[in-house]
Structure 1
């Protein structure tokens, strides 16, 4: 029996469309072992000749099978079976910065909302433009959907613009390749400034406000700009440091950790010196996650809700409508300032 024979069985079911004949026939052929991994599907011309269907109908069915991760097209060679996981609705490529704790919370919520019928392959670019470009080029055309946390850069915008708008969702950083592209992103500048403003009465009790940002940080520049504007507008004495060491840690200073590496180092030294957070020194952290709720009595953070962002991303993948959202940021005051 051939795949065409299997498809012909579905032609007897008049309540199905020709598109469904093709998709269901090929899936059944995979399940029954008529088609194995690496087998080539009949060419478009062969299918037209055998079945009498329009080329557009056959191409549409093959493309749906591609979106489900069952089929891959090879230029000038045709379509090939690449997976027998027919119970999967779609294969999703998820490209993130790195597996930091808050991004894991995004992934866990995304995975949980999608359910088991979606396969997710995770990739990381580590804020490296070359890695970002190579990863996108390597995965392009191999997945049914792409969820990407981009690097804000003209090259990244151009790369994302080469993907179909209905198969791409941009998350976290705001990069929009065109009006039809979907995004669920953060706004960093105004939100950071406004959250610092809420903390102003507490900030004024400290002699110096220190923001830690390392040399190759992925912290958006708008956060740094907001910090500097806040200092200037409200006559707060502050500095930006690229490195942390024990000599910087002093009583009556407030420290804003832009990443968890800085935070853990500061907390360790505060513990060693028996400094009380919110009294002897202040600590503010960027990007919240569950550990910051409990460590050292709780760390005050400025953050979006990454779990909610993950849920919204999954709903977009399942729903298919255009989504264009800027997620709110929150000040979570746990008393460490």
Structure 2
């Protein structure tokens, strides 16, 4: 067997056995020729054949990387969510779809518990090639979060959904800018907002799943900038009154359902006499009460961007898109 074919076989064998994985950089032509005491031409011929067969790819000025092989060589990804909501499922499904040919994705959920978060990271250290983490915690827990994240190799860590001011040492970060997302999106649709004489934000307190303060500050910023009468409450209860000409913004589905139930006790028309705007989209909101208007991040896009970072081996700090989807209720 010619020497260049022996090199081809050996590299394929190492990929099969898991010594090299998808996206791993292979030894340079110079290093390989020196290690085997071969000419550069022989090694280059081997890499050319591997490239032609689709096993490796050549990246200009960077070298050769594993492109494809059997499932053993697929890149292994740990995906760590705070909860498995509809929005997180959209992110997960998007990542799976984009990486289905080249990666195995393993999903873990820490249920907004810092001890579970730490335990999962420690138990899975060095088991994966990449770690995608959604770090939703209270401010008082940020030191613990930072300590846990620092355990992970920074070049293998991608943060999703949240931008941590106290931790930016990672490969990539696709984040929501909660305050500006709310403010800018509603400002762009101020003519719809101005249909109502008062806005009420239902911002939950005491939930095990924390909601970013930026949602609240963005809402207040909008109302003050436009002279809008507003109120912030923690929940919709029996004392909450549906008032003609007003509107509410709900975050939790439980409050959305309560508002609709109370609205049904009146003769008001939703979207005209009373408005409802919900935070974050989900399939049910498309059909509930002829359609609930939402302000929402594009979670499919978030998953695609995370997958792109892995496929291109290049991270970035990326603000995820946010939009208002107008339906019947607002």
TM category, shorter = 0.7 to 0.9
Partner of 1:221: 213
Structure 2 residue 6 is the aligned partner of structure 1 residue 14: yes
Structure 2 residue 172 is the aligned partner of structure 1 residue 182: yes
Looking at structure 1, the residues matched to 262 and 222 of structure 2 have their Cα atoms a distance apart, in angstroms, of 27
Structure 2 residue 161 is the aligned partner of structure 1 residue 169: no
Partner of 1:77: none
Looking at structure 1, the residues matched to 9 and 81 of structure 2 have their Cα atoms a distance apart, in angstroms, of 39
Looking at structure 2, the residues matched to 234 and 92 of structure 1 have their Cα atoms a distance apart, in angstroms, of 45
- Give yes or no for contact 2:16–2:72 (8 Å, CA) kept in 1: no
Q: Secondary structure at the match of 2:84?
A: coil
Q: 1:242 aligns with which of 222, 234, 237?
A: 234
Structure 1 unmatched ranges of 5 or more: 1-8, 29-51, 54-84
Structure 2 residue 273 is the aligned partner of structure 1 residue 280: yes
Q: Secondary structure at the match of 1:15?
A: helix
Q: Name the CA shift for 1:112/1:336 in 2 (closer, same or farther; >3 Å).
A: same
In the superposition, the TM-score normalised over structure 1's length comes to: 0.72
Write out per-residue CA displacement over residues 234-253 of structure 1, whole angstroms, 9 at most, x where no aligned residue.
22222111121243141323
5 Å-filtered alignment, 1:48-127, equals 86-87=71-72, 89-115=74-100, 117-127=102-112
Partner of 1:209: 199
Structure 2 unmatched ranges of 5 or more: 20-34, 37-69
Please state how far the C-alpha of 1:27 moved relative to its aligned partner.
Answer: 5.3
Partner of 1:320: 313
Structure 2 residue 255 is the aligned partner of structure 1 residue 266: no
In the superposition, the TM-score normalised over structure 2's length comes to: 0.73
The number of aligned residues is: 274
Q: Name the CA shift for 1:116/1:268 in 2 (closer, same or farther; >3 Å).
A: farther
- Give yes or no for contact 1:299–1:335 (8 Å, CA) kept in 2: yes
Please state how far the C-alpha of 1:307 moved relative to its aligned partner.
Answer: 0.7
Q: Secondary structure at the match of 2:173?
A: strand
Greater shift, 287-296 or 101-110, is seen at 287-296
Please state how far the C-alpha of 1:308 moved relative to its aligned partner.
Answer: 1.1
Looking at structure 2, the residues matched to 17 and 324 of structure 1 have their Cα atoms a distance apart, in angstroms, of 39
Partner of 1:26: 17
Looking at structure 1, the residues matched to 271 and 281 of structure 2 have their Cα atoms a distance apart, in angstroms, of 18
Partner of 1:254: 247
- Give yes or no for contact 2:80–2:109 (8 Å, CA) kept in 1: yes
Q: Secondary structure at the match of 2:239?
A: helix
Looking at structure 1, the residues matched to 8 and 233 of structure 2 have their Cα atoms a distance apart, in angstroms, of 65
Write out per-residue CA displacement over residues 45-84 of structure 1, whole angstroms, 9 at most, x where no aligned residue.
xxxxxxx99xxxxxxxxxxxxxxxxxxxxxxxxxxxxxxx
Looking at structure 1, the residues matched to 122 and 264 of structure 2 have their Cα atoms a distance apart, in angstroms, of 46
